[in-house]
Amino acid sequence: MTAGIHPEPLGVTVSTEALLLDEQFTGRLSYHELEVDAPGDPLLVSTRLVESGISDTHVLYERPGAWAVALGALAEITLTPSEAVLELVDGPRTSLRWTDSPVDRVAELLERLAIDGWRAYGWAAFELAYAHAGMPELIPDGETLLHLVVPHTEVRIADGRATIRSTNPDLLDTIRALLVTPAPVRDYEPSPVAVEHSNADAYRASVAAAVEDIRERRLQKVILSRVVEVDHPVDLVGTYVVGRQRNTPARSFLISMGGLRATGFSPEIVAEVDETGWVTTQPLAGTRELSILDADNTDLRADLLSDTKEIFEHAISVKVSWEELTELCEPGSVVVDDYMAIKERGSVQHLASSVSGQLTAGRNPWQAFITLFPAVTASGIPKKAAYPVIQRHETHPRGLYSGAVLTVDQSGALDAALVLRTIFQRDGKTWLRAGAGIVEQSRPERELEETCEKLRSVALHVVRA
Active site residues: 268
Whether residue 414 contacts residue 408, with contact meaning beta carbons closer than 8 Å, is answered with yes
**Rounded Cα distance, 148 and 119, in Å:** 10
Among 96, 99, 122, 97, CA closest to 109: 96
Q: Could you give the CA distance from residue 426 to residue 423 in angstroms, rounded to a whole number?
A: 11
Task: Report the phi/psi class of residue 249: left, alpha or beta, with left for phi > 0 and alpha for psi in -120 to 50.
Answer: beta
Q: Using alpha carbons only, what angle is made at residue 269 by residues 288 and 279, rounded to the nearest 5 degrees?
A: 135
Choose among 285, 256, 253: nearest CA to 416: 253
Give SS3 for 44.
helix
Could you tell me which of 418, 408, 324 has the C-alpha nearest to residue 366?
408
Mapped onto helix, strand or coil, the DSSP state of residue 421 is coil
Phi, psi dihedral angles at 354 (to 5 degrees): -125, 130
**Alpha carbon distance 282, 270 (integer Å):** 7
- Rounded-to-integer distance, Cα 19 and Cα 154, Å: 30
Q: Are 337 and 356 in contact (CB under 8 A)?
A: yes
Q: What angle do CA 438, 349, 286 make, to 5 degrees?
A: 25
Distances (CA, A) of 195 to 86, 199, 453: 40, 9, 9
Residue 80: CB atoms within 10 Å: 17
- Alpha-carbon span 396 to 63, nearest angstrom: 30
Beta bridge partners of 284: 352
Q: What is the DSSP string of 135-204?
A: -GGGSPTT---EEEEE-SEEEEEETTEEEEEESSTHHHHHHHHHHHSPPPP----B-PPP-SSTTHHHHH
Q: Which helix (H) or strand (E) holds 436?
A: strand 429-438
